[in-house]
């Protein structure tokens, strides 16, 4: 597949290829220079265009969304603060930078588009890989320097989870402990353990060589703060605290749902590891209902089943509305809230009181939202039904810790959801935002996937610029698909449509030259960027 990067009438061909079944993006060796522009011309009527299987093409022009509407950074509180996520695998397990020159070229391109900065995932399994307290920050420090040199800001996501699909593990020493004590991980009704993050039930238990996970997370944050002190408040302006699976505040309730399932089932309660069962037993005895403390609901469906396949989640007469249902769901959701409070409090203590803002992410679990019981939210730990608001307690917890809330899915609309999914991302997003307004919690937005669909970009634009203005918006995520000819032009127009402040014309030629030279260096090194 060929990709042409075009400014006016000149084009340079790039390629993407399949490597071991995976699509990789590279900028190969070429004799001609790589450039976003034609020498001697301005950007007023030309932009970026990527075309497939073509060496020559017409310039991409946009009369109403010109590059002159872009800026290097926001200049007032009313401006949109736009970030782009770096590749998940930007730093390797060996603490080196993957596709460094391609990332460098991308950073300069984002700078010219007016993007405020980028988001960098920092993985526990890479930075503290070998032994407790043995930190290796070299790769992340190098990446932070690259961002600083590009004149961009940096949001950091502290990832205390693994990602099996991306082959990013937990620290080796944690995995060894888990082999002999699988009870440190979440478990479902069948006894299957979710090994991509620790169970919230062990937060305050000395299960990690005599230390609690909260103590280990705190030392990790202290080391990060010390090692990156030269960037804090200047380049690094935001830190997201990892709160669970995929960094979100939730139980891994859909961890075993098959990828072939087109419609998401209800999921399963994750309360069957030995420590969760012990807490449930204690709570049942303390409330005078000891027989309710032996496990989760026996009449709940399994992962990929629908609500009416068993009696617990039925709209009418379901056990979720019974005294037992209220007992269990109240306890289950309270465990999630307590966990969130512990970690956000830790983040606020370590990073608060400075020029760095702390964040936490709450998922947008919108499947089956139009049922009365909202089963997908219940199994994930949010006690939210048609007669109970489960997000006010979440918003209050964020407010208590002076943390901002990241909400994903801001590219989703109801009309494009499968009818049988009974989904409503718009109603759920509105409900969470209402709770945040009530408690004064500032919201930051994210999209759920890289997409060239026009309705996704239009939905994001409305969510960013509508009456519920977000603090910032992070577009996820840089990689081969992000820079593909099908996607990048649409992203470019989206950025322009946000009406960022103009850049002074005198500033353009030098930066154009820097981007061109960077892309040329990328082409000479044949750097490959794998889709994250």
Average pLDDT, 10 consecutive residues per value, the chain (532 residues)? 35 37 37 30 30 28 33 43 96 94 94 95 98 98 98 98 94 98 98 97 98 98 97 97 98 83 88 98 98 97 95 96 98 98 97 89 98 98 97 98 97 96 97 97 95 93 82 93 92 84 45 49 39 37
Q: SS3 sequence, 8-28? A: CCCEEEEEEEEECCEEEEECC
Structure tokens at 424: 């409503």
Structure tokens at 200: 């919230």
349's CB contacts (< 8 A; 6+ apart) are: none
Task: Tell me the DSSP string of 487-518.
Answer: THHHHHHHHHHT-PPPPPGGGHHHHHHHHHHH
Q: Would you give the DSSP letter of residue 371?
A: S
* Angle, helices 425-439/392-400, rounded to nearest 10 degrees: 40
Residues 162 and 246: their CA atoms lie apart, in Å, by 8
258's CB contacts (< 8 A; 6+ apart) are: 304
486's CB contacts (< 8 A; 6+ apart) are: 50, 52, 452
Q: Is the dihedral of CA 231, 83, 104, 35 positive or negative?
A: negative
Residue 475: phi and psi, rounded to 5, are: -90, 125
CA distances to 152, 256, 395, 397, 512 from 404, rounded to whole Å, are 21, 30, 9, 11, 35
Residue 305, number of CB atoms within 10 A of its CB: 16
The predicted structure's pLDDT at residue 476: 95
- Cα torsion at 371, 372, 373, 374 (round to 10°)? 40
Apex 413 CA angle, 300 and 77, nearest 5 = 115
Closest CA to 511 of 149, 119, 45, 8: 149
The predicted structure's pLDDT at residue 261: 60
What are the beta bridge partners of residue 154? Answer: 118, 236
Scanning the structure block, which residue is given the tokens 């390629």?
15
Contact 25, 17 (CB under 8 A): no
Closest CA to 431 of 459, 371, 390, 472: 390
Total residues belonging to the chain: 532
CA distances to 17, 77, 114, 117 from 501, rounded to whole Å, are 37, 12, 8, 15
Residues 255 and 193: their CA atoms lie apart, in Å, by 10
Residues 30 and 21: their CA atoms lie apart, in Å, by 25
What is the CA 351 to chain-centroid distance, rounded? 20
pTM over 0.85: no
Contact 157, 532 (CB under 8 A): no
């Amino acid at each position: 597949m060929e990709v042409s990067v075009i400014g006016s009438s000149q084009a340079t061909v790039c390629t993407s290829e399949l490597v071991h079944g995976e699509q990789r993006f590279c900028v190969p060796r070429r004799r001609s220079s790589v450039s976003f522009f034609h020498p001697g011309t301005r950007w007023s009527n030309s932009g970026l265009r990527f075309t497939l299987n073509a060496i020559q093409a017409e310039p991409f022009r946009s009369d109403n969304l010109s590059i002159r509407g872009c800026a290097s950074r926001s200049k007032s509180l009313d401006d949109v603060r736009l970030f782009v996520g770096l590749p998940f695998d930007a730093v390797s397990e060996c603490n080196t930078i993957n596709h460094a020159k391609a990332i460098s070229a991308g950073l300069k391109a984002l700078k010219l588009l007016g993007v405020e900065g980028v988001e960098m995932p920092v993985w526990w399994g890479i930075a503290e890989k070998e032994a407790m307290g043995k930190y290796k920050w070299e790769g992340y420090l190098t990446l932070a320097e690259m961002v600083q040199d590009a004149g961009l800001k940096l949001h950091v996501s502290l990832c205390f989870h693994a990602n099996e699909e991306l082959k990013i593990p937990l620290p080796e020493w944690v995995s060894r402990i888990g082999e002999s004590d699988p009870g440190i991980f979440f478990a479902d009704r069948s006894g299957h353990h979710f090994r991509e993050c620790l169970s919230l039930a062990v937060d305050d238990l000395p299960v990690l060589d005599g230390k609690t996970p909260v103590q280990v997370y705190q030392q990790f944050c202290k080391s990060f703060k010390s090692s990156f002190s030269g960037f804090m408040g200047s380049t690094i302006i935001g830190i997201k605290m990892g709160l669970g699976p995929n960094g979100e505040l939730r139980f891994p309730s859909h961890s075993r749902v098959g990828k072939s399932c087109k419609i998401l089932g209800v999921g399963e309660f994750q309360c069957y590891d030995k420590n969760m069962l012990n807490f449930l037993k204690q709570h049942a005895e303390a409330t005078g209902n000891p027989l309710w403390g032996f496990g989760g609901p026996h009449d709940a469906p399994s992962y990929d089943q629908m609500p009416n396949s068993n009696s617990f989640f039925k709209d009418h007469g379901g056990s979720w509305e019974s005294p037992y249902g209220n007992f269990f769901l109240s306890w289950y959701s309270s465990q999630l809230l307590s966990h969130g409070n512990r970690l956000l409090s830790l983040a606020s203590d370590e990073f608060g009181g400075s020029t760095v803002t702390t964040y936490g992410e709450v998922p947008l679990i919108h499947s089956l939202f139009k049922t009365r019981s909202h089963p997908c939210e219940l199994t994930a730990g949010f006690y939210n039904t048609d007669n109970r608001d489960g997000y006010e307690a979440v918003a209050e917890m964020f407010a208590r810790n002076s943390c901002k809330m990241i909400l994903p899915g801001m590219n989703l609309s109801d009309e494009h959801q499968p009818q049988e999914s009974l989904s409503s991302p718009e109603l759920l997003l509105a409900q969470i935002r209402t709770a945040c307004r009530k408690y004064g919690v500032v919201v930051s937005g994210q999209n759920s996937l890289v997409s060239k669909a026009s309705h996704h970009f239009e939905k994001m634009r409305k969510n960013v610029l509508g009456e519920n203005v977000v603090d910032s918006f992070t577009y996820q995520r840089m990689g081969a698909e992000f820079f593909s000819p099908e996607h990048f032009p649409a992203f470019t127009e989206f950025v322009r449509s946000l009406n960022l402040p103009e850049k002074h014309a005198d500033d353009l030629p030098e930066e154009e030259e820097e981007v061109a030279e960077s892309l040329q260096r990328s082409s000479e090194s044949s750097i490959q960027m794998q889709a994250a």
